[in-house]
Structure 1
């Protein structure tokens, strides 16, 4: 499996002939490689929730690539009205198998919505996303979330080995709570911190989180934006 981080919460997973792009906030995020680079080879877009810094460039990417959008019922309905043609609607706790991999939406402690015609519209529940594919490590994108005890149940049920964990504080877990979750609730082989440094309101880096992850066997990696690595 090849993983690329584009800053904030945007990740691409590549395995077999699939390209899964999570929360593609590319334009305006500070990533210098450009949208064409991020969406190369993308077959599916997965959204954790409806905030602008996660929906990002979804509509343009879906239109230009023909990628299938996978997200909550409310989000895919909203983006369908904006021209996204191929959609797979879901909701919290549900799972689907599409193109030989399985996606499950977990709960996340956050909010989800967008300004629509000047009015803030609710867009369903925020989610985390589990991806399971034959012969590949199970991946858990936690989305934007606070700490919650049922993370332990998610670990017991799905046994994710790679975690994309928000650490920027204020709107999500910060270094202390994110490290607590990794140390106490999960058995990750690899953790990639995210949702930091993009805006002035967030923690500027992941250094404190990295120092506080002490669980034996868990590696923390802070990759360079746009540079793919194997996992």
Structure 2
């Protein structure tokens, strides 16, 4: 199981012979200017909600790769109308079985609308079970007691959590979330892209260390094994 970071909340997870791309927002992100979007391959594109900073490159990459979209019913319906492959429409609490494992859509405390302002349903996150491991991608969210339930229902090995504050939870709340998830390893996301979510990396790492957690802040383009 390998994870590559493309900035903001965009990751590529390679697992079980499949490539899962989360929340593609690359071309409009100046911090990701060195990422070759044309070289990114995906079998599935998972969309946590409809905001432009999570779906900006979904249409381009989806058309080029033929990837199947996974996400909230309203978000996928919007892309389906554009001709993309969007059969895997979901809603909160639903789970689908796919060749690499399972995807369950779980709640996120956040708003959702499409880039044109139309209704995007509600925001969500994903629990991925594959290769005997469990990954939780929280999407954009505030700290929510739903995370405690996720930790009770799943043995989460790694949690991808927003840490930038302002639009989502910050580091302090992410560390509480990790406790509720019973998860030691956090991979940060949704930080530094805009001035409002600039992160003091050293302070964040120190907070995590004192909370007994491992906080990983990947460099854009970096790949790690999970």
TM-score by length of 2: 0.93
| Partner residue in 2 for 1:102 | 102
Task: Name the counterpart of 2:122.
Answer: 125
Please report how far the alpha carbon of residue 177 of structure 1 lies from its aligned counterpart in structure 2 after TM superposition. 1.3
Q: 1:152 aligns with which of 129, 148, 157?
A: 148
Q: Distance in 2 between matches of 1:13 and 1:205?
A: 26
Quote the residue 1:229 is aligned against.
224
**In the alignment, which residue of structure 2 is the partner of 1:34?**
36
3-state SS of 2:20 partner:
strand
Q: Secondary structure at the match of 2:168?
A: coil
2:113 alignment partner in structure 1: 113
How far apart are the structure 2 equivalents of 1:221 and 1:142?
A: 15
Which residue number in structure 2 is paired with residue 134 of structure 1?
A: 131
Q: 2:187 matched to 1:185?
A: no
- 3-state SS of paired residue (1:168): coil
Question: Do residues 212 (structure 1) and 207 (structure 2) align?
Answer: yes
Question: 1:220 deviation in Å?
Answer: 1.8
- Contact 1:197 1:205 (C-alpha < 8 Å) held by counterparts: no
For the residues of structure 2 that align with 1:65 and 1:115, how far apart are their CA atoms? 22
The aligned residue for residue 9 of structure 2 is 9
Distance, in Å, in 1 between the alignment partners of 2:56 and 2:184 is 29
Unaligned runs of 5+ in 1: none
1:15 to 1:115, Cα distance in 2 relative to 1, 3 A: closer
**Partners of 1:68 and 1:205 in 2: CA distance:** 36
C-alpha contact 2:16 2:130 (8 A) present in aligned 1: no
Mapped contact 1:47–1:71 kept (Cα < 8 A):
yes
Shift of 1:211: 1.9
Shift of 1:28: 1.4
- CA-based RMSD of the aligned residues comes to 1.5
Unaligned runs of 5+ in 2: none
Counterpart for residue 93 of structure 2: 93
Distance 1:151 1:20, change over 3 A: same
Cα deviation, residue 69, structure 1: 0.4
For normalisation by structure 1, the TM-score amounts to: 0.91
Q: Secondary structure at the match of 1:122?
A: coil
| Maintained 8 Å contact 2:16/2:100 | no
SS of equivalent residue, structure 1 residue 211: helix
Secondary structure in structure 1 of the residue aligned to 2:106? strand
In the aligned structure 1, how far is the partner of 2:115 from the partner of 2:13? 29
